[in-house]
Amino acid sequence: MSSPNNENEIDTEKKEKVSRNFIQNIIDKDLEEGKYDQIVTRFPPEPNGYLHIGHAKSILLNSGLADEYHGVFHLRFDDTNPMKEKTEFVHSIMEDVKWICGDLDSEQIYYASDYFDSMYECAVKLIKKGKAYVCDLSAEQIREYRGTLTEPGRNSPYRERSIEENLDLFERMRAGEFEDGSKVLRAKIDMASPNINMRDPVIYRVARINHHNTGDKWCIYPMYDFAHPIEDAIEGVTHSICTLEFEDHRPLYDWVVNEVEFEHPPKQIEFAKLYLTNVVTGKRYIKKLVEDGLVDGWDDPRLVTIAALKRRGFTPESIRMFMDLSGVSKANSSSDYAMLEYCIREDLKMKRPRMMAVLDAIKLVITNYPENEIEYLDVPNNQENAEMGTRKVPFGRVLYIERDDFMIEPPKKYFRLYPGNEVRLMNAYFVTCTDYITDENGNVTEVHCTYDPETKSGSGFEGRKVKGTIHWVCAETAEKVEVRLYENIVDEEKGVYNEDGTINLNPNSLKVLENAYVESALAEAEPMDSFQFVRQGYFIVDSKDSTKEHMVFNRIVSMKSSYRVK
């Protein structure tokens, strides 16, 4: 007979087994069979743009596996195509990966371009084995000869060149004797293969482009499908994890590592990309938004680049939680953006002080409170986390409250301020509305009330009950700030793209509030400090535009959640 305790233990064990993803299962099996002494994984970005949340998935998946199996994780810049690459991107990627992973040692950082010599040697080896040839067909002819999905390709007239001639021509390609595009090196595989990637793919091309790492040393550059497996093999990568679109390239990957005769060939495993509902993740599209000036750079808080998520106030912990919840799979699907919001709320809930800020202010005058007096109330920094201590919050005769916390003619079930009604001012006193003032358009400009000194928060007052509690800031000491509220940059209703392929922008994706006040303690906040503003959500001091004189707060996420944990 087993005790309930034991059953629980077994249950947890079983659950852990069941919830292992398919990649963990593959690695478990490989280790059981004694295939590897140590697991090596890598994240191989091409430095041609900023990283986005999809890349974060790949970073966390790869580094997480290395951690779990006490292996090694490499950040490798896949910088073999100098046409689109820039050092600006190398720097931003390095920073982003470090932010997501915590940190990286310098010995974890690799550059594919450091292997150009080895790649050249690998190509020579293939030629010597009769597995590669120099081809003079133009790009267009190569395309024509390649055939289609339903028709086999045709052999190039240069396919049967002798090994000697190929070695000579390839060396002369390297020496710069031929024009860009005039000759390529091709793998000699099978022009009739049902997999088009196997129809004698180009593996080297002539291109006179300055490279950010190797300068003008090379005028021939390897193609991705040839370079990538060699990079993995050189670094001793055991499991080369990539996204589904490379599934059809796997036979070529295997062909390269086998023909080059690496002793411990890496294994390619594909998983489904991370997609988010109503969010543009593709590097190409983000680049277009940036280049067309539709957003404030790569780190515009409405984007989901890692730089933008950081500026918006997301934390590495929240992103990690999101990736854990969204799982790893072989089938394409979209994750809910609301789940990401749920994760950041969960992460910040206990860690950040809960402050008072009024986003659209009107004055509240307490007519029976002494003029020119400020008292300091003791307020807990986080009601759910006593360790965060308390602070002194100034209170006076004139306060700011939210415009929508007062109504002249309230509907049913409105428990906030209206003429004759009593509410609690959060952390302070009960007040009863006695009057209000409007401007010539009928807009309320000031609300008047009286307070009951007996009802001070924390005084143990047990008298009347009130149904509404509203937040406030002391007008005399408050700091006027700019607040930015964000919505998804694409319109949820209309879909991501217009018929003509342009991005369907949401005109309300950025809303700037100019009539916002925060309690005085927040005037000390530094860029990247984040807080809960009670009843409003989580906010961060903007790292780009906020100054001591003109503070700018970004809303990370509101308090309301549409996401339910299943």
- What residues make contact with ligand ATP under the rule CB under 6 A? 44-46, 54-55, 57-58, 242-243, 273-274, 281-284
Task: Please report how close the Cβ of residue 93 comes to ligand ATP at its closest, in angstroms.
Answer: 8
Q: Which CB sits closer to ligand ATP, 54 or 222?
A: 54
Task: Please report how close the Cβ of residue 111 comes to ligand ATP at its closest, in angstroms.
Answer: 14
Sign of the dihedral defined by the CA atoms of residues 82, 126, 177, 182, in that order: negative
What would the two tokens of residue 269 be? 């495993």
Q: Which CB sits closer to ligand ATP, 278 or 469?
A: 278
Residue pair 496/503 in contact (Cβ under 8 Å)? The answer is yes
Q: Which CB sits closer to ligand ATP, 306 or 552?
A: 306
Q: Which CB sits closer to ligand ATP, 58 or 238?
A: 58
Task: Please report how close the Cβ of residue 283 comes to ligand ATP at its closest, in angstroms.
Answer: 3
Task: Please report how close the Cβ of residue 92 comes to ligand ATP at its closest, in angstroms.
Answer: 12
What would the two tokens of residue 371 be? 């003029």
Burial grade of 219 (CB within 10 A; 0-12, 13-18, 19 or more): middle
Euclidean distance between CA atoms 321 and 318, whole angstroms: 5
- Alpha helices by DSSP H, listed for 261-396, are 283-291, 306-312, 316-326, 337-349
In the bound complex, which residue of the shown chain has the CB atom lying closest to ligand ATP?
Answer: 54
Name the helix (H) or strand (E) containing 513. Answer: strand 510-518
Task: Please report how close the Cβ of residue 271 comes to ligand ATP at its closest, in angstroms.
Answer: 7
DSSP structure string for 245-290 = GGGGGHHHHHHHHHHTT-SS--EEEEEPPEEETT----HHHHHHHH
Residue 495: which region, alpha, beta or left (left: phi > 0; alpha: psi -120 to 50)? left
Backbone angles phi, psi at 326, to 5 degrees: -85, -15
Task: Please report how close the Cβ of residue 42 comes to ligand ATP at its closest, in angstroms.
Answer: 9
DSSP bridge pairs for 109: 75
Q: Which CB sits closer to ligand ATP, 96 or 422?
A: 96
Task: Please report how close the Cβ of residue 49 comes to ligand ATP at its closest, in angstroms.
Answer: 7
Task: Please report how close the Cβ of residue 101 comes to ligand ATP at its closest, in angstroms.
Answer: 14
Q: Which CB sits closer to ligand ATP, 219 or 244?
A: 244
Residue pair 153/199 in contact (Cβ under 8 Å)? The answer is yes
What would the two tokens of residue 31 be? 């280790």
Q: Which CB sits closer to ligand ATP, 112 or 478?
A: 112
Number of Cβ atoms within 10 Å of the Cβ of 414: 15
What would the two tokens of residue 116 be? 């150009």
Q: Which CB sits closer to ligand ATP, 75 or 364?
A: 75
